[in-house]
Amino acid sequence: MKTVILDSRNQNSLNQAAELLLAGKLVAVPTETVYGLAADATNPIAVDSIFRAKGRPANHPLIVHITGVDQLDKWAIHIPNNARKLAETFWPGPLTLLLKKSPKAISAVTGNQDTIAIRAPANPSMQELLKLCGLGLAAPSANPYKSLSPTKVSHVYKALAGKIDAILDGGECVLGIESTILDLTNIIPRILRPGPISVNQIEEILKIEISCPKAHSIRISGNLASHYMPKTPIFLYSTDILIHRLKELPKDVACLVYDEQLTLQNCNQIIHISSIKSEYSRLLYQKLHEIDAQNFREIWVEKPPQCSEWFDVNDRLKRAAQFDD
């Protein structure tokens, strides 16, 4: 299969992407978080082809992407007020809500569970595409199972060319890290995956404390210990330990650092990333993709600050790492 790249700034290309989706084809789409691999959420054959392209086990459920709050009742039932409040505040944006599914939600999308994960993405071309095709789009991140999420078209193309029909090019993802997933099927809302919408932001709107379990048994592939992995093994080191280790940095090890003292060192094994949280998240997967494309034996990552602001980044790094000091 030939994978075509469609420019989202061009109306004909957007129309073509919409037609492909209506015909049950697979199109990788830009969102503000990471690129998604989209198909018509009501078409079981199209949804099945997402799993085949990704190599993902069929019982791992998918997020359904919609234009906004007005579509919520099509996909979910028994929607609590808290869910509506959050959707009205943060949509379109990087917050996925887990709710009780409506009959419209097919079992291939929900992994045979009675819940559905829904979000309205903020990327303008994705919004335009959703309006053009009039569908709910089931879309996991557009990467092979258990590997790094894509934040640029080149990442998607390298991993999935030949396996999908098209990629809608919407430029680089502005947030660079997957959405926050919040379970609203119980009285106390709980975070299933930390992301760009923080616990504090949610608590401020709901005026209650939400639950933020270290581990949970809900079936969510992003919850597997070893997920979000580059091919090169990651080792996490705190700044002071890394300063010592850098004195004898093996030639085949790459280092990802944000600290000013460390960024002063200039050699092509030391890859700099921002110390500003939003910039760090935007660039993290991009830097890991770049390092992965070279032949390093290991990646040593300087451990970011262990505070709530960095919760989502630390979550992803912990899952990706082989070792954490």
Token pair for residue 85? 């409040």
The window from 2-10, 84-92, 174-182, 197-205 that contacts ligand TXA (CB under 6 A) reads: 174-182
**Span from 14-22, 214-222, 239-247, 299-307 in contact with ligand TXA (CB under 6 A):** 214-222
38 — phi, psi (to 5°)?
A: -100, 150
- 63 in contact with ligand TXA (CB under 6 A): yes
Q: State yes or no: residue 147 binds Mg ion (CB under 5 A).
A: no
Residue 174: CB minimum distance to Mg ion, A: 18
The contact mask relative to ligand TXA for 221-240 (x = CB under 6 A, - = no) is xx------------------
Q: Does 33 bind ligand TXA (CB under 6 A)?
A: yes
Is residue 56 within 8 A of residue 194, CB to CB? The reply is no
Helices (H) then strands (E): counts for the chain: 12, 16
Least spacing, CB of residue 34 vs ligand TXA, in Å: 5
How far is the first Cα of the chain from the last one, in angstroms, to the nearest whole number?
45
Instruction: Give the interface segment with ligand TXA, choosing from 84-92, 94-102, 232-240, 245-253 (CB under 6 A).
Output: 94-102
- Compare residues 31 and 141 and give the one whose CB is closer to Mg ion: 141
Note whether 141 binds Mg ion by CB under 5 A. Answer: yes
For residues 163 and 219, which CB has a smaller minimum distance to ligand TXA in the complex?
219
194 sits near ligand TXA (criterion: CB under 6 A): no
Shortest CB 299 distance to Mg ion, Å: 20
Smallest separation (angstroms) from ligand TXA to the CB of 270 = 30
Q: In this chain, which of 13, 31, 123, 286 binds ligand TXA, going by CB under 6 A?
A: 31
Q: Which of 14, 17, 26, 34 binds ligand TXA (CB under 6 A)?
A: 34
Binding site for Mg ion (CB under 5 A): 141
Under the rule (CB under 6 A), what is the footprint of ligand TXA? 31, 33-34, 36, 60-63, 94, 96, 98, 110, 113, 115-117, 121, 139-141, 178-179, 181, 218-222
